[in-house]
Amino acid sequence: MSADAARVFPEVSRVVPGTAGAHPDVSGPVRVLSIAGTDPTGGAGIQADLKSIAANGGFGMAVVTALVAQNTRGVRGVHVPPVTFLREQLDAVSDDVVIDAVKIGMLGDAAVIDTVTRWLDAVKPPLVVLDPVMIATSGDRLLAADAEAALRGLLSRAHLITPNIPELAILAEEPVATTWEDVLAQAERVSERYAVRVLAKGGHLEGETAPDALVDASGSIPGGLRVVEFAGARIRTDNTHGTGCSLSAALATRIAAGGDWLEAIAEVKRWLTESIDHADSLHVGTGHGPISHFAGLWSRGGLTTERTAEEHLDLWWRAIAPIRHRANTLPFVERLGAGTLDRDAFTWYLAQDALYLRDYSRVLAEASRLAPTPEEQAFWAAGANGAIAAELQLHQGWLPEDEVFNTPPAPATIAYVDHLLAAAARGDYAVIIAAVLPCYWLYQDIGSRLVAQSHPAHPYASWLETYADEAFARSTRLAIGFVGEAVRRADPDTRARMFEAFERASAHEVAFFAAPLEARALPGHAE
């Protein structure tokens, strides 16, 4: 008995193909194979198994043992495909996919059971949960009587079996238990006889409670226990079709994922209770309807899909449409494009821009320092260097040196710079790059309209041509991409702060363009 008990309680591990089990593979969801019959109404069989596996965090696969014509009122017919095809299905999966757990449901006849048994012996999955399907919730017999002996032989290949009370009685070769104490005693005898863990289920009993229990006659449950009970309240509903299928598939998934049997059973029981509690809301069929496998996910997670990076920024761009409209209709922008802008206003703007760029470069340097990837670090650092180069070269080409460094900052310049410096001081990379994005995106959007009006005789042609620089266009695309990925990864609170920083910076950008003609000390201030 002790040797068998050691087999009953294996350490569940996941392995990488080709490593002979040397390295655990925890890179994704557990891969769970359901071997069972079908239910065209979707409440039981492999259809229920796949839902249960997904609802409990696994990747479900399925091999069909029998095609069942049934609905919520009962079974009308069963077709068992040739066992040669069954073995082809099994081999097709195991030849290609690492299987972390197997759930076995309806098998139909002795030939099917023998085929599955031989495959298990060849593949040796790390975890096998067997739901010995013999009797459906509707009372229909689902396993041929002459196959019961073959099923008993399969029990020794399982690590856990999950019979309902009538099925437990068949395995024990005893009358159906009518009390919870009798169920536990019967489960312990089955566990001892077949050296297998048994999940005893009290769902078929009368009363206000619906307890379950993990039973192992060898006493190898942690703490040397033979029985661990899990209390549960009974939910009054007729919609329990496929409960056994769903439970066993969920257990295979949770145990394979975590390895802690007691914790997995407790979690699955909570999930199943929630799914039964919402079963009446489905309105599927007129008999014993199915449980609602995804009720918890739907209520807590919702059905809203995640936006892409491009979709997030498209919403941002549309949200600042009023700001962009004001930018495009500013007298300063219109006159700069037409070439009618007063030169004093233009040089005043350049001096303010030079002052702006000095602090702007510091903010880009901080973004580089905080950036999570080498590509982003290099990009923002190059931007910081470019801002300084632009200040020293482009602006000095238009302005005397003393005017660049001695011009007092205007209120619009101070406000814009303060906004960027405040974002940098908070040290949140995502918010910083959202704040500097308008200096790329909105600036290029305005510039694309201005450069279209440039011509050789234009007084500001050399300045307008800077807007057409392909290097700046490429930088703008990269900046948009980095911000888009940051907003996609961010939590809702960070996204809100990112957009606020972006929107405020956009408004500051427009105010910066408006300032030359709004400053009362300059010609044209009354415009």
Active site residues: 201, 240, 242-245
Residue labelled with tokens 């059971």: 113
Residue 394 CB partners (closer than 8 Å, separation 6+): 466
153 touches 120 (CB < 8 A): no
CA–CA distance, 128 with 252 (Å, rounded to integer): 7
Residues in the chain: 527
102 touches 33 (CB < 8 A): yes
Give the CA distances from residue 499 to residues 94, 438, 493, in Å, rounded to whole numbers and listed in that order.
49, 11, 10
409 touches 421 (CB < 8 A): no
236 touches 204 (CB < 8 A): no
Instruction: Work out the end-to-end distance of the chain between its first and last CA atoms, rounded to an integer number of angstroms.
Output: 97
3-class SS of residue 78: strand
CA–CA distance, 468 with 451 (Å, rounded to integer): 7
- How many CA atoms within 13 Å lie on the side-chain side of 208? 0
**Residue 344 CA, distance from chain mean position:** 56
Residue 205 CB partners (closer than 8 Å, separation 6+): 165, 178, 179, 180, 183
Give the CA distances from residue 417 to residues 69, 197, 345, 413, 426, in Å, rounded to whole numbers and listed in that order.
72, 68, 20, 6, 14
Residue by residue, DSSP assigns 337-401 as HHT-S-HHHHHHHHHHHHHHHHHHHHHHHHHHHH-SSHHHHHHHHHHHHHHHHIIIIIIHHHS-H
Angle at 360 between CA 358 and CA 365, to 5 degrees: 100
Reported as type and span, the H/E element at residue 503 is helix 492-518
CA–CA distance, 98 with 341 (Å, rounded to integer): 71
DSSP strand pairing (101-104 vs 31-36): parallel
38 touches 66 (CB < 8 A): yes
Reported as type and span, the H/E element at residue 340 is none
Q: Cβ–Cβ contacts within 10 Å for residue 452, how many?
A: 11
CA–CA distance, 136 with 204 (Å, rounded to integer): 12
